[in-house]
Structure 1
Amino acid sequence: MNFDLIKSVIELVQQFMKQNEGKSLYNNDLKGFTKWINISYKDGFESQDPDWIGKEFGRSSDSVITTLLIRMNRYAKSYSRSVISNSAFSSQDDFIYLINLKVLGTMSKMELIRCNLHEKSSGILIINRLLRNGWAAQTVVQKDKRKKVIQITEKGLAVLANSMDEIRMASKVVAGNLTHPEQMLLIAILSKLDEFHHSFYRMNLESRDLLDLAYKKLN
Structure 2
Amino acid sequence: MKSYHLIHQLITLVEELEEEQPEKEISLQHFTGFLLNKSENSVMDINPEVRFGNSDKKALEVAYQLDNNIGRLLVFMSRYAKMYIKKALEETPLITPEDFTALAILMTHDHLSKTELIKHNLQEKTSGTEVIRRLIAADLVSQWNDAHDKRSKHIAITDQGRELLYSVFVDMNNVGKMISGKLSLREKLTLGYLLQKLEDFHLHHYQKKTILSKSDLKNFIEDSLPSK
RMSD across aligned positions (CA): 3.1
Relative to 1, partners in 2 of residues 1:46 and 1:102: Cα closer, same or farther, differing over 3 Å? farther
The equivalent residue for 1:120 is 125
Deviates more, 1:79-88 or 1:121-130: 79-88
Q: What is the number of equivalent residue pairs in this alignment? A: 181
The alpha-carbon deviation at position 212 of structure 1 amounts to 2.9
Instruction: Look up the match of 2:99.
Output: 94
TM-score norm. by structure 1 comes to: 0.70
Aligned pairs for 1:1-219 (under 5 A) are 51-53=45-47, 57=61, 59-142=64-147, 144-146=148-150, 147-204=152-209, 205-215=211-221, 216-219=223-226
Would the alpha carbon gap of residues 140 and 46 (structure 1) be closer, same or farther in structure 2, given more than 3 Å must change?
farther
Structure 1 residues 98 and 183, CA gap change in structure 2 (3 angstroms):
same
| 1:52 CA displacement | 4.8
Write the deviation string for residues 107-150 of structure 1: whole angstroms up to 9, x where unpaired: 211111111211111100001111111101123455x3545322
State, as a whole percentage, how many aligned pairs show the same letter: 28
Task: Give the match's secondary structure for 2:108.
Answer: helix
- Provide structure 1 residue ranges, at least 5 long, that are not aligned to the other structure: 1-34
Higher RCO structure, 1 or 2 (CA under 8 Å, sep 6+): 1
**Alignment partners' CA distance in 2, 1:91 and 1:77:** 8
- Per mean C-alpha deviation after superposition, the further-off stretch among 103-112 and 154-163 is 103-112
C-alpha contact 2:46 2:61 (8 A) present in aligned 1: no
Task: State the 1:106 CA deviation.
Answer: 2.1
- Asked if 2 retains the 8 angstrom alpha-carbon contact of 1:200 and 1:214, the reply is no
Superposed CA deviations along residues 49-89 of structure 1, whole A, max 9, x for unmatched, are: 57553899473100110111011011101101211223222
Distance in 2 of aligned mates of 1:181 and 1:48 = 25
The higher radius of gyration belongs to 2
Task: Return closer, same or farther for 1:127/1:48 CA change in 2, 3 Å cut-off.
Answer: farther
TM-score normalised by the chain length of structure 2: 0.67
Q: Distance in 1 between matches of 2:176 and 2:135?
A: 22
Whole-angstrom CA distance in 2 between matches of 1:197 and 1:210: 14
Compare the two structures and name the one with the higher helix fraction. 1
1:193, 1:57 → 2: CA distance? 24
Unaligned runs of 5+ in 2: 1-26, 48-56
The one-letter code of the counterpart of 2:225 is L
Question: Which digits, 9 at most, give the CA deviation of each residue in 1:167-211, with x for residues without a partner?
Answer: 111111111111222112111111111222222222335332442
